[in-house]
Chain A
Amino acid sequence: MVIDLDRCTGCEACVVACHSENNIGMSTPEEAARGRVNHWIRIDRYYEGQFPDIKVKYRPVLCQHCDEAPCEPVCPVNATYHNPEGLNVQVYNRCVGTFYCANNCPYTVRSFNWFDPKWPEPMQLQHNPDVSIRPGGVMEKCTFCIQRIKRVEDQADAAGRPVADGEVQPACVQSCPAEAMIFGDLNDPDSKVSRLAGDGRATKLMEELGTKPKVVYLEKAR
């Protein structure tokens, strides 16, 4: 994934899109006050400088799907692992909630279900049947909307054609009004994400830790 910070407005459409797609449990004010709000994607915002010459940095942060993911080797039950497509995935029914993965994630993008999520009737009508509901005691995180990837792959398979560049859109990418988020195949040198990843503005978050993140940020042009 490539995120162009020169386009990003910090509007948080992606945050709500992610909730809508992935059946993320709702918080209550009481639980939120204890730091128990679950977001798979967040907008970090930082202030730089002093008024009146103050600048704001918005940065959407989600699971970076690291090639050397620090969360993976510490899981005692292999609930989080690298799938053959290079996604860092979470097997919910293996997770026993040790929290080791979240403690080891430098990007703090993992969310824990402290309780069974509740949706007052009839809010469950909105649930996406393609995404399982996670019970209490289970860790969860961004999957790059693996269900949307699979759907497009299946359609392409059925039609006997390869998946087209840009055809797969995780919910956050699909929603982004400024088209700041782009998703594609980094292994395909001709894909849009590969071209953008070679841009002079490209950086990766905390790359110095050796995590080899697969989310590329295009820094704001100055």
Chain B
Amino acid sequence: MSMERRNFFKILSTASAGVVATGCGTDSDKLIPLLVPEQDLIPGVEYWHPSVCTSCPSGCGVVARVMDGERIIERTTAGKTEKLRQRLAAIKKLEGNPLDHVSGGRLCARGQAGVQSLYNPDRIRGPLKRSGVRGEATFQPISWKDAISEASDQLLKVKNEAADRIAIVTGPVASSRSNALRGFAKAIGAPEPLVCSVASHAAERKAAEIALNWQGIPFYDIANARHILSVGADFLGGWVSPVNYARQFGAFRQARMEVRGYLAHAESRLSITASAADQWLPLKPGSEAQFLGAVGRILLDLNLAPKAASLPPNVLAAFKALDLAAFIAATGIEERKLRLAVEQLGKSEGPLVLAGASTVHTNSVDAIVASHYVNMMLGNVGNPGGIQAPAKSPIEPLTNTKFAAALSQARAIVLDEANPLYTAPKAAHVREALTKAGFVLSFATTLDDSAAWADIILPAHHALEGEIAVAPAAAARVSLAIGGTFVQPLYETQPISNTLAELAGGMNVTFQPATVKEIAEPLLPKDLTWETVVREGGFHTDATPAAAPLTKSKPAPKAAAPTNAFALNAAKFEGDGPFLLQPYLSPQLHEGASSNLPWLQECPDPASSAVWSLPVEIDPVTAQKLGIATGDNVKLESASGSITAPAYIHPGAVPGVLSMAIGGGHTHFGRFASGRGANPLEILALATEPATGDLATGATRVRLTRVGPGKDLIQYSSEDKEERPHAHR
């Protein structure tokens, strides 16, 4: 039998990255989802296994290249510790799964660095129990049995007193893991898990519901559009599904005979999307709603809105009644330029408006709702090259982002794939909540800022070590990316489904989370078997699901019509400083959960070329006025506190706006991130977007002062201008 298996692997192992990526008919046969036992590992022979990236909600399917590897382990026998070399199956590289329709065989910087989080030297080795004062991050090892027993006792105590005071906090990825957490919360009578993230895209979901009665984040058919006006969405950087949208962007630009897509981008930062655009319209922060109001009105005025009649009457009237001059003035864009941009959009044969909230403002939902109505009047809703309805997610995403209120009342806090102490501002009082809570439990794989405050840590397997299913954040077709178990866990961790079931058992509750198979199988079309899905790393289909998924989800609301609420409120800002702080999701570090990966720390920041550091972007006029030079340390001060960071004088920074990538300033996150840089989220005011309760990351005014010369800015290249200008037609 073992001989047969070995031969089987040998045949399969002829798959290579190149062959897989070329997409011939038998590619899927070469992806094997089985755990490779050490005895079957042939040195130098590679195996490719499908899995899923969980570093953001996009849900990119990946393939992992597995070969034999060696590590040093310590073994203690009879009081004597010796070091041994252990041979095991190791992941050498992650690439996009060519059969996955989100990644299409491609992957972003963070996705590829996922293997470095698996082999991160700072991973937690086994269950830990706090041994010192909470927050001091002093822990001692504890057995799984004792840890589960103690944690379930603590949770049971709170459940019996006030189950609604158990706050389970997680991230924005809709996965079998978030599904298990939701089931666990329901089983023990706790409220639905909360999402604490600056990448929850709550505004995008809400706006789609209001304007189009769609559940989920709309999908933009960029590849088939001819002229895109994108507003506030850094869709090639940190917004929603960067790999998929970058793939589409490449096709939009150069995959069609005699058609080259034109991109105009309106945003208050020169992001990588703005940089790739044919035209950047530098908006005043928070004026996206006014900008889109003006776009709609100008289209109507120019008779370039062929489907204006399809707008709800109140919306059409609102566009016609708005004070165009005031709206244009609010955007900070020269009127001539704005009118020209709108005229070009309206005259295109394939116009598309793509709006989002890379930086959330108090009026972000208004802005995105307006963009949907503009698309409606342009007639592209549901059409090729237009905005597409999101497919029903096989795993219902968690959407409650009102974590601050819940945490303040919490008697027990459970943390999984969320780091509220880092991603929430100081004003959200997460530290106080973690201090006050009777019990804090974490499932972290690496000790982060919040896990450092846990009483007990029950480390889960890394996403690449266990089975997982992820529903992509944006997809026009029902799809699920699936990863199996193909490398053995490195440490004494366990699947979160087991941990949750054991915790529930300890609380005298019967709970068994749905397995990946149980989630996926009812959704499969008749011609697709589970074995095929496992081998290919997931599925996507237009077919109607055969049965309801086992997600314990509520059915989509059966609203007869969208609510059509339409207002174009001005953004509100908190504080009294002269500058606006704009933290952003960078392509490398996103919301800071990848900061402990050296590949990403030494990957130069696209704007400043900074490595191992993240600067504040300051416009040249402000810098000159305040006597600040690139590399100086500057202090940003809001009503909530202050941070000190190096300055980068950015020739494209919008005057009065201080942008800074999220990712630095971790108190605890391993040797590569702890104590490095500053976290711009820390000093944000607790302003929220009213329709969603989501944190308004762009609503804080700050003061800026020069501290003095600094050494913290490390630039890979300090050249901003080309020494020998090269042809750029």
Contacts and interface: CB of A to CB of B under 8 A. Distances in A.
Interface of A: 4-13, 15-17, 19-21, 26-29, 32-33, 37, 39, 42-48, 50-52, 54, 56-59, 120-129, 148, 151-152, 155, 164, 166-169, 171, 174-180, 201, 203, 205-206, 219-222
B126 to A, nearest CB: 15
Interface in B500-520: none
A148 B382 CA distance: 42
Given A29-B613, A121-B121, 5 more contacts: A51-B655, A58-B272, A126-B91, A175-B106, A222-B278
Contacts of A48: 721-722, 728
A178 B246 CA distance: 5
B711 A176 contact: no
6 contacts: A11-B246, A19-B599, A56-B652, A122-B72, A155-B16, A201-B729
B381 interface: no
A174 B17 contact: yes
A180 B94 CA distance: 19
Top 3 A-B pairs ranked by shortest CB distance?
A178-B250, A177-B246, A56-B275
B567 interface: no
Given A10-B606, A32-B714, A127 B92 contact: yes
B658 interface: no
Contacts of B607: 45
Contacts of B189: none
Nearest to A206: B724
Contacts of B250: 4, 7, 177-180
Interface of B: 14, 16-19, 21-22, 43-44, 67, 69-72, 88, 90-96, 105-109, 111-113, 115-116, 118-121, 236-237, 242-243, 246-247, 249-251, 253-254, 260, 270, 272-276, 278, 280, 282, 490, 587-588, 598-600, 602-604, 606-607, 609, 611-613, 619-620, 651-655, 671, 676, 711, 714, 716-717, 719-722, 724, 726-729
A5 B727 CA distance: 12
Contacts of B243: 177
Contacts of A128: 92-93
Nearest to B235: A9
A125 B611 contact: no
Contact of A120 (B96, B121, B676): B121
Contacts of A125: 69-71, 88, 90-91, 119
A18 B362 CA distance: 41
Given A4-B254, A37-B602, A125-B69, A10 B282 contact: no
A62 B728 CA distance: 18
Contacts of B602: 26-27, 32, 37, 39
Contacts of B598: 26-27
Nearest to B103: A177
Query: In the complex, which of the residues A11, A152, A180, A206 has the most CB atoms of chain B within 10 Å of its own CB atom?
Result: A11
A120 B123 CA distance: 12
B666 to A, nearest CB: 14
Given A126-B119, A128-B93, A177-B106, A52 B600 contact: no
A16 to B, nearest CB: 4
A148 B21 CA distance: 13
Contacts of A220: 728-729
B108 A11 contact: yes
B646 to A, nearest CB: 12
Contact of A11 (B88, B237, B280): B237
B106 A13 contact: yes
Contacts of B599: 16, 19-20, 26
A112 to B, nearest CB: 15
B53 to A, nearest CB: 12
Contact of B109 (A6, A11, A47): A11
B93 A21 contact: yes
B21 to A, nearest CB: 6
A15 B67 contact: no
B611 A37 contact: yes
Contacts of B92: 126-129
A32 B119 contact: no
A29 B272 contact: no
A208 to B, nearest CB: 9
Contacts of B609: 45
A121 to B, nearest CB: 6
B112 A122 contact: no
Contacts of A5: 728
A9 B276 contact: yes
A219 B120 contact: no
Given A32-B602, A46-B720, A126 B587 contact: no
B18 A51 contact: no
Contacts of B236: 9, 11
Given A12-B109, A32-B612, A125-B90, A51 B604 contact: no
B728 A57 contact: yes
A43 B606 contact: yes
B6 to A, nearest CB: 19
Contacts of B726: 59, 203, 205-206
